[in-house]
Amino acid sequence: MEEEDGIIRSGKIKYKDDYYLLYEKGFLGNKPLTWNSIEEIKESGWKKEISIRGRKGIARGKSRFNLTLEEAANYIEQLKKEGIPPEKLTFNQSMPDDHLLIQGEIMRNEDLYNLVYTFVKKPMNRALEEKTLRAKGLTALNLVKGNLSPSSYTDLQTLFDIFPDSIIEFSAYDILLGNLPNRNTIMWEVRNY
């Protein structure tokens, strides 16, 4: 707990390892179901599709979405052959991309918001590659506020209160989802790296 307190007190998440430490403990807002291994997924009884993301040192291009457990296990074997150990991976339930409203990255500098976003209904990296939009100031704030549920918007502002100079990566949906009630937004990442 001391390490988490130090990161929070600093107001900056400078390393991906620090981000995952806080993310896995639930300090960074609403998140999907997550696991650290295929074995954990099997033990949980989850049967639906999953996504694989890389931890520190893994290129974003290695992420995979909407995989069955069998496809994920095969992909892990492929990554092992490339020298990427399973411990460098994290897993989450696949998200209902057909329900996406808006997704992107927002930051706040001296109360001026900057938003990089998309309305494309695909996993974020793919969606931003297809169409990237930008907004600043009140326009950015209104886009976010108009698409996040009240609880999700409050979570976003709380994260900015704790981490004022961080970039917050999020996806908002037209349904409630995640591990916290009354939220329509997943907070994927909070970072200063």
pLDDT, mean over the chain: 94
Task: Check whether residue 126 and residue 61 sit in a common domain.
Answer: no
Of 54, 76, 93, which one is at a domain's C-terminal end? 93
Boundary-marking domain end, from 93, 127, 161 = 93
In the chain, the number of structural domains is 2
Whether residue 185 is found in the same domain as residue 111: yes
Does residue 56 surpass a pLDDT of 80? no
pLDDT band at 55 (very low <50, low <70, confident <90, very high): confident
Mean pLDDT across 34-55: 95
- Are both 106 and 84 inside the same structural domain? no
**Domain housing 49:** 34-93
| pLDDT value at residue 90 | 93
pLDDT band at 80 (very low <50, low <70, confident <90, very high): very high
CA 107 to chain centre: 15
Looking at the structure, tell me whether residues 115 and 165 fall in a common domain: yes
Indicate whether 103 and 185 sit together in one domain. yes
| Assigned domain for 151 exists | yes
Q: Do 54 and 129 lie in a common domain?
A: no
Q: Is residue 41 part of a domain?
A: yes
100 and 174, same domain (yes or no): yes
Look at residues 73, 93, 113 and tell me which one is the last residue of a structural domain: 93
| Averaged pLDDT, 44-64 | 86
